[in-house]
């Protein structure tokens, strides 16, 4: 089975990063301006060769849209903008932050669900490097966050996304123990994997700087523009850490290759 899953975070009024989600320069990289997000949805709608789906109805080759962290922008503007197109999304909630400034309240979570969106767990505390936690800590992150959401929503919660880019089998096993059946990662892959009793869905992360054409290409099934950008970014990060001259040399070669 394959799926193309887009990963967004917050959507804010022109640069007003404090309005929604986590507050840090790193978090702001993932916050799109409302106008730009509207353009993304429009281009995705034009380019997509398949219907936007929910994981609960996912057929092979599904296209899905997800939002991490549980920032306040999920309810407005994001949910309304999706609904205008007849789409529904998946919202993954960091439960320790429910009701805090810039994050969704319990009433808003119920409203999202009532409007047909999927509400799932994104852990309790959004741990940095979740795969390094002990079994007991992992159990708390998944079981406790699922329990809190189930209490708020009054129904079983079986969907979650993993905070941060890293995960291992220990993270997946603990999620399965907490009753999670559909688990979204940040691996840029389309193949859906069965592991430890969970269906694992990869996702393609969209940042503020991601061109809307890349989102559209992903929706159309063309992963290459997005992956190339990501590879370049990753390579740049590593090479900058290693040393400037090495990076400059690689850059020169890449540019020469592109020209030729
Ligand atoms: Zn997150």
Tell me the mean pLDDT per 10 residues along the chain, length 260. 96 94 94 97 93 90 96 98 97 98 98 98 95 96 98 98 89 97 94 94 94 93 81 70 63 60
Phi, psi of 117 (to 5 degrees): -85, 160
What pLDDT score does 260 carry? Answer: 45
Q: Which residues pair with 71 in a beta bridge?
A: 103
Compute, in angstroms, the gap from residue 84 CA to the centroid of ligand 1.
26
Compute, in angstroms, the gap from residue 9 CA to the centroid of ligand 1.
8
- Domains of the chain and any CATH numbers: 3-221 (3.20.20.370), 223-260 (no CATH)
Tokens 């503020």 belong to which residue? 208
What pLDDT score does 176 carry? Answer: 97
Compute, in angstroms, the gap from residue 253 CA to the centroid of ligand 1.
35
Compute, in angstroms, the gap from residue 250 CA to the centroid of ligand 1.
32
Q: Which two tokens stand for residue 51?
A: 């219907």
Compute, in angstroms, the gap from residue 91 CA to the centroid of ligand 1.
11
CA distances from 13 to 19, 35, 111 (A): 8, 8, 22
What pLDDT score does 20 carry? Answer: 97
């Amino acid at each position: 089975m394959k799926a193309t899953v887009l990963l967004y975070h917050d959507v804010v009024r022109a640069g007003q990063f404090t309005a929604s989600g986590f507050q840090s320069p790193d978090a702001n990289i993932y916050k799109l301006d409302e106008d730009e997000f509207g353009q993304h949805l429009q281009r995705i709608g034009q380019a997509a060769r398949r219907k936007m789906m929910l994981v609960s109805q996912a057929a092979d080759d599904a296209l899905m849209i997800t939002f991490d962290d549980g920032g306040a922008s999920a309810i407005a503007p994001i949910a309304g903008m999706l609904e205008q197109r007849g789409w529904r999304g998946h919202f993954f909630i960091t439960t320790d932050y429910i009701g805090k400034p810039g994050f969704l309240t319990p009433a808003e979570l119920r409203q999202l669900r009532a409007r047909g969106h999927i509400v799932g767990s994104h852990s309790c505390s959004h741990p940095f490097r979740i795969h390094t936690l002990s079994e007991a800590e992992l159990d708390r992150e998944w079981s406790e966050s699922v329990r809190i959401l189930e209490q708020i929503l009054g129904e079983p919660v079986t969907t979650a996304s993993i905070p941060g880019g890293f995960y291992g089998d220990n993270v997946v096993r603990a999620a399965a123990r907490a009753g999670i059946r559909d688990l979204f990662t940040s691996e840029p892959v389309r193949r859906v994997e069965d592991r430890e009793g969970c269906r694992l869905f990869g996702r393609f992360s969209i940042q503020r700087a991601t061109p809307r054409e890349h989102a559209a290409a992903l929706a159309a099934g063309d992963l290459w523009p997005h992956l190339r950008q990501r590879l370049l970014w990753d390579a740049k990060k590593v090479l900058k850490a290693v040393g400037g001259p090495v990076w400059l040399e690689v850059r020169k070669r890449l540019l020469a290759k592109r020209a030729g």
